[in-house]
Copies of this chain bind each other. A is one copy, B any other.
């Protein structure tokens, strides 16, 4: 099991007229958490796309616990919640610098070929990556 962390500086552009970060922008932070997890495991999502694969989002569920303001920093903790042949579920916790939770979330992804948008198993594309995911997965 492995939990990756990514620190993020809140951007002015991320706020809305409520005076806090707009809720859809949390999904961008989740993605930055995933990118970091993949990097920490020694792989590169940008490279995977250059090879002709995409990893679209199938499902997002997110619970907003607390609003976040410009001028604050947040940390996204990311882990692999479940991993199967065609689906990966990532888990997340977004925390403020005081340790309080701003949001929790899960996102489900598949892997597809860029050309056909047909699902393909990660094990067929990159065996080392597949093995790392099996090891890193929390619920294994």
Contacts and interface: CB of A to CB of B under 8 A. Distances in A.
Interface of A: 9, 11-13, 15-20, 22-25, 27-28, 31-32, 35, 44-47, 49, 54, 56-64, 67, 69-71, 117
In terms of DSSP, what is the predominant structure of the interface of chain A?
A: mixed
The residue among A12, A59, A61 with the most chain B CB atoms within 10 A of its own CB is: A12
Contacts of A20: 17, 56
The residue among A9, A17, A27, A47 with the most chain B CB atoms within 10 A of its own CB is: A17
A124 B61 CA distance: 30
A13 B12 contact: no
A65 to B, nearest CB: 9
Given A64-B56, A70-B46, A24 B13 contact: yes
